[in-house]
Amino acid sequence: MVLVVPLSVEKLVEMVKSLYRDIDCAVACVSGGVDSTVSAIIAKLALGEKVYPVFIDTGFMRFDEARSIKEALKGLLDLEIYDFANNIISSIEGLSDAEEKRIAFRESFYRAVKRIAEEKKCGWIVQGTIKADVVETVGKIKTQHNVLSDELLKRFNLRVIEPLIELYKHEVREIARQLGLPRCIIERQPFPGPGLLIRTVGKMYREKLELVREATKIVEKRLNGSGYSQYFPAIWEYDVAGEGSIDGIEYIVFNIKTTGVVDNVRVYGHPVLIKRYPAGLDVLKIYSYFDGRSNPHILIELTDNNRGEYVAAIRIVKTENYMMAEVPRIDINELKLLAKEVASLPKIRVVTFDITPKPPATIEYE
């Protein structure tokens, strides 16, 4: 059955009330992003005391995230914080494949949710799943951790309330405005459920994860309030598989694989780093020299320390619906200043900037 969800708080609350008023109780998983926050508030307005809003520290959150989200939502939701960081990180350490990592994350995340639901004696959870999450999982573009299969729900013996399942991000923001949420929540850039995990590209280990956390702090400090849809760094090993040149463009190819999306199908290929390009060449057009299937992400170099083990790859995009995205034109000197700060972190060899739109690249690297 396709539910046509009307775009008003009252109607969403009515819908949740009419469908779920007889449940025992529900744990509402809130990450601080606009989707899960709006979902939890709608559920709370509809079901009152039966809803327990919680924040789970997965270990893949940004610096100080639990405390700052609790603070930002004060007076709107009384969040209970649960720390599962060590459990969840340990269950993923050593894994390399992007899908395997997402699936392992989903497994330990829901084990944590189940423990909380048992503690509260609830058979239900509330989630901020939106339409794009479902479209991408069903289309096998990637496994969204919050799109639960019947098998998972059965195995964890949980049932799920998803008030926003028919809405896209800009519609959720509209509901958030109707709810009078603070701007910092409404305009907060989306942060993926598995968080920094998918920005610790390739093999997951703690040193790399901590480096992503540090680099994220720097990038967000400079770009919060910039109006870009998403802006973040990812980290992977400086491991070069090959080099070449084409029409005066000198490049290297990394060994790691990153994701792209071509004709609505996910592809995996090696990112390319442009070391040098002819003066006057439109930087945003360089990507058209490469094949998006083999090389979904094309990067330009901002800084090379000439030593160090890691690539810090900065990505900035503008998008309405997150299904397509463009790279904004940013003054190269501004980017270089940001890169200089990131390059001062330990063991960083190069800092890059991704010039590829979606498609052919995905927004994230995995």
Compute, in degrees rounded to 10, the torsion defined by CA atoms 50, 56, 62, 67: 60
Pick 108 or 230: Cβ nearer ligand XMP: 230
Tell me the residue type at 135: V
Q: Which two tokens stand for residue 166?
A: 């028919």
> Residue 136 or 214: which CB sits closer to ligand XMP?
136
Tokens of 352: 């890059």
Please report, as residue ranges, which positions from 40 to 79 form the binding site for ligand XMP (by CB under 6 A).
Answer: none
Nearest distance, CB of residue 24 and ligand XMP, angstroms: 27
Confirm or reject binding of residue 308 to ligand XMP (CB under 6 A).
no
Which parts of 224-253 interact with ligand XMP (CB under 6 A)? 230
Cβ atoms 212, 236 nearer than 8 A:
no
- Residues ≥6 apart with Cβ < 8 Å to 78: 53
Pick the closer one to ligand XMP by CB: 35 or 166. Answer: 35
Smallest distance from ligand XMP to CB 190, Å: 4
User: Which of the residues 164 through 223 are near ligand XMP (CB under 6 A)?
Assistant: 190, 192-194, 198
End-to-end CA distance of the chain: 32
| Smaller CB separation from ligand XMP, 194 or 292 | 194
Question: Considering beta carbons, is residue 14 or 174 the nearer one to ligand XMP?
Answer: 174
| Strands 159-161 and 124-126, sheet pairing | parallel
Q: Which region, judged by CB under 6 A, interacts with ligand XMP, from 138-146, 220-228, 299-307, 326-334?
A: 138-146
**Contact status: 296 vs ligand XMP (CB under 6 A):** no
Least separation in angstroms between CB 64 and ligand XMP: 20
65 vs 364 by CB, closer to ligand XMP: 364
Q: Which residues are 236's β-sheet partners?
A: 311
Comparing CB distances to ligand XMP, the nearer of 102 and 213 is: 102
Sign, CA dihedral 39-41-47-52, equals positive
Retrieve residue 19's tokens. Answer: 């469908």
User: Whose Cβ is closer to ligand XMP: residue 200's or residue 362's?
Assistant: 362
Q: Which two tokens stand for residue 6?
A: 């009307």
**With CB under 6 A as the contact rule, which of the stretches 21-29, 110-118, 298-306, 358-366 interacts with ligand XMP?**
358-366
Stretch that binds ligand XMP, among 22-30, 70-78, 142-150, 287-295 (CB under 6 A): 142-150
Task: Tell me the one-letter amino acid at 76.
Answer: L
Q: For residues 272 and 317, which CB has a smaller minimum distance to ligand XMP in the complex? A: 317
Length of the chain as a residue count? 366
CA distance 327 to 81: 36
User: Per-residue contact track with ligand XMP, 88 to 107, x per CB under 6 A?
Assistant: --------------x-----
Taking CB under 6 A as the criterion, the residue among 124, 231, 358, 360 binding ligand XMP is: 358
Tokens 């998918």 appear where? 198
| Those residues with Cβ within 8 angstroms of residue 290's Cβ, 6 or more apart along the chain or in another chain | 272, 298
**What is the smallest separation between the CB atom of 33 and ligand XMP, expressed in angstroms?**
8
Applying CB under 6 A, the site for ligand XMP has a residue count of: 15
Candidates 161, 249, 312, 363; binder of ligand XMP (CB under 6 A) is 363
Give the burial class of 351: count Cβ atoms within 10 A of its Cβ; 0-12 exposed, 13-18 middle, 19 or more buried.
buried
For 275-287, b/e burial (b = at least 16 CB within 10 A) is eebeeeeeebebb
Please say which residue, 267 or 343, places its beta carbon nearer to ligand XMP.
Answer: 267
Give bridge partners of residue 56 from the DSSP assignment: 82
Give the pairing type, strands 265-269 and 272-276. Answer: unpaired
Q: Report the nearest approach of ligand XMP to the CB of residue 106 (Å).
A: 9
- Picking from 134, 133, 91, the residue whose alpha carbon sits closest to that of residue 110 is 91
Q: Does 322 bind ligand XMP (CB under 6 A)?
A: yes
Residues that bind ligand XMP (CB under 6 A): 102, 142, 144-145, 190, 192-194, 198, 230, 322, 358, 362-364
